[in-house]
Structure 1
Amino acid sequence: MIMEFNRELDARGLHCPLPILKTKKALADMTSGQVLRVLATDSGSVRDFQAFAKQTGNDLLSQTEENREYVFFMKRK
């Protein structure tokens, strides 16, 4: 399944909390309903993105992992 997105954030090589902080900043620059695709390599980011979605109300539409690379799709509330 190919998911449409409005913007992409490359957070590969960054460690906690930088992927979340950069995601928060990117989402702030987007309009409601837009989708952000985030690429990350920090294994802790799976748990972090789930918590971030709950705390902020932004929707975590999808999260996948392939070859220790994580892809998240976040929808701005």
Structure 2
Amino acid sequence: MAVVKNADKKMADQVLDVTGLNCPMPLLKAKQALNKLSAGQTLLVKATDPGSVRDFKSFTELSTHQLLESYEENDCFCYLILKND
């Protein structure tokens, strides 16, 4: 797992690579990363766990954060999350 800060300013303020990790680790690592961001910043999460699709959808529906985009790319599930608080 690697955290790449400011990897692509057009995409996100921070990129979190949790490929290879299984539930619940992708979501837990994403929550930790979001806690370090300021309101209005974005986090791009890259995961390989198919269960993360359900997890990130539920998490953003139940939190103040917003799921801006969810897509598949290069065998990864990608989630662009806006921190709202």
Structure 2-normalised TM-score? 0.83
Unaligned runs of 5+ residues in structure 2 are: 1-9
Aligned Cα root-mean-square deviation (Å) = 1.0
8 Å CA contact 1:43, 1:68 repeated in 2: no
Question: 3-state DSSP class of the match of 1:48?
Answer: helix
Q: Which amino acid aligns with 1:49?
A: F
Q: Which aligned pairs between 1:9-20 and structure 2 lie closer than 5 A? A: 9-20=16-27
- Give me the whole-angstrom Cα distance separating, in 2, the residues matched to 1:43 and 1:68: 10
Matched, 1:7 2:14: yes
Q: Which residue of 2 aligns with 1:35?
A: 42
Q: Which amino acid aligns with 1:27?
A: L
Q: Which residue of 2 aligns with 1:61?
A: 68
Matched, 1:76 2:76: no
Question: 3-state DSSP class of the match of 1:42?
Answer: coil
Unaligned runs of 5+ residues in structure 1 are: none
Q: Which amino acid aligns with 1:76?
A: K
Q: Which amino acid aligns with 1:16?
A: C
8 Å CA contact 1:39, 1:71 repeated in 2: yes
Runs of 4+ with >2 A deviation: none
Q: Which amino acid aligns with 1:50?
A: K
- Give me the whole-angstrom Cα distance separating, in 2, the residues matched to 1:67 and 1:34: 25
Q: Provide closer, same or farther for how the CA distance between residues 8 and 67 of structure 1 changes in structure 2, counting only shifts above 3 A.
A: closer
